[in-house]
Structures are given as structure tokens and as C-alpha cells.
């Protein structure tokens, strides 16, 4: 592989005009496609195989035209102190509001609180439910304005009015902190390279790669039903890996120049060596992201594949456009140890007395005290992981919104007037198509549910026109995210199994609360198979890269430490509320159900990045004759500074998304940033060299039969060394 990439690097350097034109053309085409594509709506959220999804599909089939996936709004009214909603004046105001809301072209129906008995027992709170034909993201601005205006008119009459539901759902934004993250990355690159030109190359190529990836996602969003979160996460990961991959190749290029090689040769060797590490690091990220499809949640699968595509583009750009741009930059990118006038260090460092860099000094310390460093690192990460034992999973609802929003205030008013379970109603779908007496089945089902614990209200069955299917709404006594409500869902399903045995009628439970429970269980069930698949494939890949058994094993165990510590940090901030003000978390609550498995996938891929970049340098030194301990120091001497810069950049990019208005993006941005910190600076910079120092030569042991069976990918560039040596001998003969 090193030889192929070496030739690709030299070709890209020589044919830089063609390479640059190709990438600019791709960016232009993607941009034009995105601009001309129809706007994407709200991505549908389906969970194949779950009971909640089966019930939802049955509703669409048996109750056609009900717009089951349409937006809803709950307009909640509260009477002034000392008054009631049943007072004539307040009642007239509410009925005028209902009439005003019914005039909208996208409105399917509006329920009158007094006819639907939607008034609290004490008479102080009432609500009207508005159902729309389209989803919240597809709702016209005019319809949203009409909803807000009607509420404002009722407020003028003296009522407290708040609006809940998804009708006012807004497109999430990331805020200015994203730009700050990129600015921090730029500063780190300037400090690392001491040159604006060298620092600008990774930023430029990363932005081009992300531009192509996100534009492609935007262009396909409507056709493939991709939500806004998909492009945001692809941008987050694409920026981080795009900058890092380019950083490693530019750094190796400068190192090759420092050894006296011509610029084209240096570009070829940089792509052949560091580029090989980029390819395998990118493969581990792609495996981890594509592997999310085993969970069988379409939204998660699409997010993973879209992000994986952006990573693949970042790899290709690093291998081709970086050497092309290095050709354009010429002498403005200086050899390693020679900095530009920007930092006032134009003199080569080799002209000064040799002084070990920080990476060398740190590695030497770890090699001398490996056991102490190992224990300290493991204990520290273990302590950070403790909060993860209290992990609670859930899907966000209006109760997780900031208290400043009207959605959250409506949620609190409904809880006050009708009980905490009112915000998480359960919909029971009774399929009596195969039953002899459907009406009797509907009645029996309602009676069975009334006898269960934690049931406050059971509405009469509402059959469809055919009379073979009915819906029953159940109001729990506990809040939607409570264990008691989860037990009630399972209790209804157990009762439904008995009814099916007696009457051959199916009883299914759905609704947002039931869907949340099913999602959490599905994700929990999929976590172990996902880990086995992703870690197993990456383990085999790393055996090929490092030609070792223990090094990949150590890499996988180190990843488990860092991901558990990162999950602990997420729980501490978003669930417990530690430092929540600093992170902009206005409302604590359960961690997003998808967070653990998504974080496992992404963090594993990124963790292997640093493993590959750092340890390949150690492997390179070891196979070239250095002792194991010295190889560790050599690897840090060449790679620690660059890995540190890469980690800081990645943390800055991820942390930039903490400013997002969407709780999932905010949580993932924080989780990935803290995970990179744990993995890069504690696992890879401390635990890894300590373990390698303790293992010595055993770290690089590989059975002979396996060594013969494995393909030789030559990540260390041994083939390039041989090629260069032959070239030097030929030149000497010509001179003679």
C-alpha cells in the first residue's frame, strides 16, 4: 500500500492543476445539487420490529386520512387567580380561539375543551388540541403565526396561554460556538506549523471535504428522508477528521523535507507513510459508523452512513489534494524545525544545541515509571466512569425543553391540571378483525386496563368505520420517563397477550412514551452485538496494520475505558446537572436513547485514529532495529506534538457544537469532545506507552503462521526505504 500511495502522492503533486480542478468541480456540482434540491422535511422516526411501530403502521392502514404523522399543538389555557375556565367570559374566549384556529388550511381538526371534557377537575386549566395535515418541520410559517396570534389574542383577554406539541418545532441551529471551534483549530495549526500557509492547508481541505459531503446530504435529504441532524453530525465528524488527516500528512511532509528530500519526493513519501495510517484510521471510523446499521433504526443508520461518507471524502482529499496544494505552496511550507517569520524563528533548530522535545521527555518518564502511570490512568478513568452506572435513557419531549420556552410551560401546566402522566398518554390499538364480537373485545380490553396499577384514565374505545379496530387512550399516573410508566406499558402488553389467547384479537401499545421504551430496549439489546461486530472487525484490521496480537487488544481495552469515562461525564452534566450552566444545559433529564451506541461507534473510530498515528511510528522504529522502550520514545518524539495538536483541534471542533439548540447535537458534541480528551491524553499518551513499556518485545509478538497468512500492507513504508536506498546507490554509480 505504501508504494501505491507514494506514487499517488507524487502524481498529485505533479498534476496539481488537474487534481485541484477535479475537487473544485465536485464541490461546485454538490453545491448546485444542494441549491436545486427540494427542502427536506422532518425525518420520519420509525423503529422496525417494535410493537409501538407495528401499532402505528396499523393505525395508518385502518384509520386512513387521519394524518397520524401530522403535527399537533396543545393550546393550554389557565384562568386568572380566583376564576375558572368555566366562567362565561373565559369560556367565550376559549371558544373564539378554537374557532379562529379551525380556519387554517392545514388544520385537520381542533377539539373544543368543553365538548372533549378537557378541563381540569378544579376548573382552572383547559386545553384545545390542534391536528395538522403535515409534520411540524413542513408546517407553513403562516400556520405557525396563526397559532401564535390566536394564543396572543387569548392572553389579551386575561388568560395565561402556552402552546405545546411539535407544531412550533424549529430547525435547530448550532450558534457561533461552531465558528469559535474552527478558529481554535486555526490557532493550533498556526502554532504547530509556525506558518499561515501550512496551517491553512488542513483547514482548506477539511472545509472542501465537508462542503462536498454536507451538500450531497442536503441534495439527497428529501429523496432519502434525511433529517437536519444528519448533516450536522456529518459536518461535526467530517471537520474533525478532515483537519486531523491533513495535519498528519503535512507534518510528515515537513519531516521528509528536513531530511533533505526534494519536494515532490517528500510529498510522495508523506502520502506513502502518513497516508497509509490515514487510510487505516479512516477505515476504522467508517467501520464504526456503518456498523450502526446493525441496530436497525433507519434514522441512526442514515446518520452513520452519511457521516461515514464524509469521512471517506476526507481521506481521499488528504491523499490527493494535500500533495497538490503542497505543490502550489512550494517553499512557503518549510521543513520540520524551520519556522517562518510569523513566530520569529526562521533559524533551523538543528543549528542550535539539541534539546529533547516535550514528547520525548514525557515518553522517557513513562518508560521509567510505567506501572505508576498505568495505575494512575486506569484509576482516573474509572472514577470518571462511575456516574455511568446511574445512566437513564429516554427520548426528549417538551419536558426536557428549557423553562423559558412556551412548550415547556405548556407541559408544566398540563402536569399541574391533569397529572404528570397526562404528558405521556399511551395509545392502545385493538385489532379485532379476526374476532367474532369486536365490540365485546373493545370493552373487555378497556376493563382489563382499568384494573392495572398506575392507571388514572381510560377513555372509551374509538372504533374505525369498519368497526374492526379501535383506539383506547390510557393516562398513566406517573411522568412519561418513570420506571412506573414503563412497567404499565409492559403490564398492558401482558394483558393483551391473554386477550389474544382468548379472543384472537391483537392488543398493541403505541404513542411517544411506548415508542421511547421500545427504542431504549432495542438499543440496549443491540449494544453488545454492535460492539462485537465493530471491535472485532477493527481488531482484525489492526492486527494487519501492527502485525501484533497484544497491541490491538490493548487498543480495544483502552477504548472501553475512554468511552465509559465519557459516558460518565455525559451523565454527570446532562443528567445530574454538574456544570450544566457552563455547558448551557437549562434542563437536565435522561440521556438521549441513541447517545450511548452512537457515541460508542464514533469514539471507537476516533480512538483508533490516535492509536494508528502514534503506534505506527513506534512500530516503524521497532522494525528498523530499535529496542522496544526506545521505539516508544522515538514514536513520541515524532508523533506526540502532532497527535496533541490533532486532539486539541478535534476537541475544539466537537465542543463548538455544544452551542446547538438541539439537545442531541449538544450532548453528542460534549460527549465526543470529552471522549477525545480522555482517549488522546490519558489512554494513548499515558496508558498505551506504559503498557508497551511493560510488555517489551512481547507487545509485537505474532504467531509465525499468522504472520505468513496476513497480507503485508507496509504501513511503515519499508518498501519506500528500499526504493530510496536503491535510488541513492544508482545516483552514486552515475556520479562515479
Q: Which three cell numbers stand for residue 713?
A: 500492507
Global pTM reads 0.77
pLDDT below 50 — which residues of the chain?
345-351, 726-736
Measure the CA angle with vertex 156, ends 134 and 401; round to 5°.
Answer: 50
**Alpha helix (H) residue ranges in 547-660:** 550-570, 580-583, 595-623, 628-655
Q: What is the pLDDT of residue 347?
A: 45
Per DSSP, what are the bridge partners of residue 107? Answer: 132
Concatenate the DSSP letters of all residues of 530-577 into one string. HHHHHHHHHHHHHHHHH--SHHHHHHHHHHHHHHHHHHHHHIIIIIS-
Q: How far apart are CA 397 and CA 410, in angstroms?
A: 12
Radius of gyration from C-alpha coordinates of the chain: 30
User: What cell numbers appear for 575 in the block?
Assistant: 443528567
What pLDDT, on the 0 to 100 scale, is given for residue 731?
43
What is the predicted pLDDT for the residue at 686?
93
Burial class (CB in 10 A: 0-12, 13-18, 19+), 84: middle
Classify strands 393-394 and 426-431 as parallel, antiparallel or unpaired. Answer: unpaired
Amino acid at each position: 500500500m505504501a508504494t501505491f500511495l507514494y506514487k499517488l502522492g507524487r502524481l498529485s503533486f505533479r498534476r496539481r492543476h488537474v487534481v485541484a480542478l477535479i475537487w473544485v468541480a465536485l464541490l461546485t456540482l454538490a453545491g448546485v445539487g444542494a441549491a436545486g434540491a427540494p427542502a427536506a422535511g422532518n425525518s420520519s422516526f420509525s423503529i422496525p420490529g417494535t410493537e409501538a411501530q407495528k401499532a402505528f403502521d396499523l393505525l395508518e392502514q385502518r384509520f386512513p386520512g387521519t394524518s397520524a404523522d401530522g403535527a399537533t399543538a396543545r393550546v393550554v389555557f389557565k384562568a386568572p387567580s380566583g376564576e375558572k375556565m368555566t366562567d362565561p367570559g373565559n369560556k367565550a374566549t376559549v371558544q373564539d380561539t378554537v374557532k379562529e384556529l379551525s380556519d387554517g388550511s392545514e388544520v385537520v381538526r381542533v377539539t373544543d375543551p368543553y365538548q372533549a371534557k378537557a378541563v381540569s377537575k378544579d376548573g382552572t386549566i383547559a386545553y384545545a388540541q390542534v391536528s395538522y395535515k403535515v409534520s411540524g418541520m413542513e408546517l407553513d410559517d403562516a400556520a405557525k403565526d396563526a397559532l401564535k396570534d390566536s394564543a396572543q389574542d387569548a392572553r389579551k383577554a386575561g388568560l395565561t396561554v402556552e402552546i405545546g406539541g411539535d407544531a412550533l418545532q424549529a430547525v435547530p441551529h448550532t450558534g457561533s460556538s461552531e465558528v469559535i471551534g474552527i478558529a481554535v483549530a486555526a490557532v493550533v495549526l498556526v502554532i504547530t506549523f509556525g506558518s499561515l500557509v501550512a496551517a491553512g492547508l488542513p483547514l482548506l481541505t477539511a472545509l472542501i471535504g465537508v462542503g462536498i459531503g454536507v451538500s450531497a446530504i442536503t441534495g439527497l435529504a428529501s429523496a432519502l428522508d434525511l433529517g437536519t441532524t444528519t448533516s450536522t453530525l456529518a459536518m461535526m465528524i467530517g471537520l474533525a477528521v478532515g483537519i486531523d488527516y491533513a495535519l498528519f500528512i503535512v507534518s510528515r511532509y515537513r519531516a521528509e523535507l528536513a531530511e533533505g528530500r526534494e519536494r515532490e519526493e517528500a510529498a510522495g513519501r508523506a502520502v506513502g507513510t502518513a497516508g497509509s495510517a490515514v487510510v487505516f484510521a479512516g477505515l476504522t471510523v467508517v467501520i464504526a459508523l456503518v456498523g450502526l446499521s446493525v441496530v436497525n433504526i433507519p434514522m441512526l443508520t442514515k446518520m452513520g452512513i452519511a457521516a461515514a461518507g464524509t469521512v471517506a471524502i476526507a481521506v481521499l482529499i488528504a491523499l490527493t489534494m494535500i500533495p497538490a496544494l503542497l505543490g502550489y505552496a512550494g517553499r512557503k511550507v518549510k521543513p520540520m524545525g524551520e519556522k517562518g517569520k510569523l513566530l520569529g524563528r526562521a533559524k533551523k533548530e538543528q543549528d542550535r544545541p539539541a534539546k529533547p522535545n516535550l514528547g520525548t521527555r514525557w515518553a522517557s518518564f513513562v518508560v521509567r515509571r510505567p506501572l505508576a502511570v498505568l495505575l494512575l490512568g486506569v484509576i482516573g478513568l474509572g472514577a470518571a466512569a462511575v456516574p455511568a452506572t446511574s445512566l437513564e435513557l429516554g427520548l426528549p419531549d417538551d419536558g426536557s425543553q428549557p423553562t423559558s420556552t412556551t412548550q415547556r410551560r405548556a407541559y408544566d401546566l398540563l402536569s399541574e391540571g391533569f397529572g404528570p402522566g397526562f404528558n405521556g398518554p399511551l395509545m392502545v390499538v385493538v385489532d379485532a378483525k379476526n374476532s367474532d364480537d369486536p365490540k365485546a373485545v373493545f370493552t373487555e380490553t378497556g376493563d382489563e386496563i382499568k384494573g392495572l396499577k398506575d392507571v388514572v384514565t381510560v377513555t372509551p374505545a374509538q372504533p374505525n368505520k369498519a368497526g374492526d379496530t379501535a383506539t383506547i387512550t390510557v393516562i398513566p399516573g406517573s411522568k412519561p420517563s418513570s420506571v412506573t410508566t414503563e412497567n404499565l406499558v409492559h403490564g398492558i402488553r401482558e394483558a393483551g397477550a391473554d386477550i389474544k389467547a382468548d379472543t384472537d384479537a391483537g392488543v398493541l401499545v403505541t404513542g411517544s412514551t411506548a415508542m421511547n421504551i421500545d427504542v431504549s430496549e432495542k438499543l440496549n439489546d443491540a449494544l453488545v452485538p454492535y460492539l462485537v461486530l465493530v471491535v472485532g472487525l477493527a481488531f482484525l484490521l489492526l492486527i494487519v496494520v501492527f502485525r501484533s496480537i497484544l497491541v490491538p487488544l490493548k487498543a480495544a481495552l483502552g477504548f472501553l475505558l475512554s468511552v465509559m469515562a465519557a459516558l460518565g461525564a455525559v451523565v454527570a452534566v446532562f443528567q445530574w446537572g454538574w456544570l450544566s450552566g457552563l455547558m448551557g444545559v437549562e434542563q437536565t433529564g435522561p440521556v438521549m436513547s441513541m447517545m450511548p451506541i452512537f457515541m460508542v461507534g464514533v469514539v471507537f473510530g476516533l480512538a483508533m485514529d490516535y492509536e494508528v498515528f502514534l503506534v505506527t511510528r513506534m512500530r516503524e522504529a521497532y522494525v528498523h532495529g530499535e529496542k522496544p522502550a526506545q521505539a516508544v520514545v522515538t514514536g513520541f518524539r515524532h508523533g506526540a506534538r502532532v497527535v496533541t495538536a490533532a486532539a486539541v483541534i478535534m476537541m475544539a471542533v466537537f465542543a463548538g457544537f455544544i452551542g446547538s439548540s438541539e439537545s442531541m447535537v449538544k450532548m453528542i458534541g460534549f460527549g465526543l469532545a470529552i471522549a477525545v480528551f480522555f482517549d488522546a491524553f490519558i489512554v494513548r499518551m499515558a496508558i498505551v506507552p506504559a503498557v508497551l513499556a511493560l510488555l517489551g518485545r512481547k507487545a509485537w509478538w505474532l504467531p509465525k503462521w499468522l504472520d505468513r497468512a496476513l497480507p503485508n500492507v507496509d504501513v511503515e513504508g519499508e518498501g519506500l526505504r528500499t526504493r530510496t536506498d536503491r535510488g541513492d546507490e544508482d545516483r552514486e554509480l552515475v556520479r562515479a
